[in-house]
Structure 1
Amino acid sequence: MQFLVIGYDGTDDKALGRRLMAREAHLAGVLKMKEEGKAIFGTAILDDRDNMVGSVMVMDFPSRTELDDWLKIEPYVKGDVWLRIEVLPTQVPPVFMPSEK
């Protein structure tokens, strides 16, 4: 089952610092999830000054429970980067899915 995950960073003065501290671990985790076929797409959300203020990810998990289990260990969640998270079930059409090479 595919999910759209929107993580919104905090708005306090230390929010960007928390993001940058957790970024390496977050990206390493995303790479692993991509290799496992669980991460389909992701991007940072930028404000009008091009600062990262959130994230959008399209994930593929067998169930919402398994997605929630992943969120419990996601570095941006554990590091208090994403302070508000929206999760929406979604369906990515095959034309947008990465093709096997």
Structure 2
Amino acid sequence: MRYLVLAWDGDDPAAPARRQKARPAHIACASRLQAEGRLLVGGALLDDDGNMIGTAAVADFPTREELDRWIATDPYTTEGVWKRVSVTAYRVAEHYTHLFRPD
């Protein structure tokens, strides 16, 4: 099943430094998930000044439990970057399905 994941960083003064410190490990994790076909698209949420304030991703996991395991073990979670995460089941609009592997 596909999911839309929105994860917001903390808004304390140390939040940007936590993100930058955890970023290489997070990118490595995301690259593995992409290679496995689990992470279809992802990127940073930005504020009006272009600063990273969170993450948006479309993920494909067989179960919600497996998705939750990824979120719980992602470096942005374990290093305290993400403070709030929202997950919603997601269906790609028909005219964009060519961008993703078949269900």
TM over 0.5: yes
Q: How many residues align?
A: 99
Q: Deviations 1:28-72 (Å, cap 9, x if unpaired)?
A: 000000000000000101111111000101000000000011111
Structure 1 stretches (4+) deviating beyond 4 angstroms?
A: none
Give the fraction of aligned pairs with identical amino acids, expressed as a percent. 40
- Correspondences of 1:69-84 after superposition (within 5 Å): 69-84=69-84
TM-score (structure 1 length as normaliser) = 0.93
Residue 64 (structure 2) aligns with: 64
Matching of residue 95 in structure 1 with residue 98 in structure 2? yes
Residue 4 (structure 1) aligns with: 4
Partner amino acid for 1:71? I
Cα distance, 1:98 vs structure 2? 5.5
TM-score (structure 2 length as normaliser) = 0.91
Structure 1: state its 5+ residue gaps.
none
